[in-house]
Amino acid sequence: MNSQESQQEETRKHRENCRRILAISSKIRYVGIMNKFGRTMAGQLRKDMIPLFKPEEARNENFIEATRFQLRKSFEESIGKTEYSFTENEKVKILTFPIESNFYYITLDKNTESQEFTQIVESVKKLVRQ
């Protein structure tokens, strides 16, 4: 398999994982996998969902999360590896899950209850650790 075929296979795998995560709960708005620079490698928005970010805002948000991801990695020796990160905003909840040198970026409806939130986290952890 050459480099281009390998890259295409990896992209296909990322897209499939995004679809599988999106299927976990109707509370999940968006799932994307970002590289360490915040570039989207694959992503999936729930059907009939209106994005909250304009394209430039999304690029900036992804860059910020990638920077946070890299900074957290520098503390792993002291506090251990990050299992996931959670940010709550007025309109949306955001989860990030590190995998190797990339991370999943997942947005949830603001009204996601704590029990369903916990179920989503556990399901995503199992799926991304495979």
Residue 126 has pLDDT above 80, yes or no: yes
> How many domains, in total, are found in the chain?
1
CATH code of the domain in which 103 resides: 3.30.450.30
Per-residue pLDDT, 129: 78
83-94 pLDDT, tens digit per residue, is 999 999 999 999
CB within 8 Å of 59: residues ≥ 6 apart: 38
Q: What's the predicted TM-score (pTM) here? A: 0.91
What is the Cα–Cα distance from 4 to 126, expressed in whole angstroms? 29
The confidence band for 66, taking pLDDT boundaries of 50, 70 and 90, is very high
Domain containing 97 equals 3-128
What does the pLDDT average to over 38-64? Answer: 93
Per-residue pLDDT, 42: 94
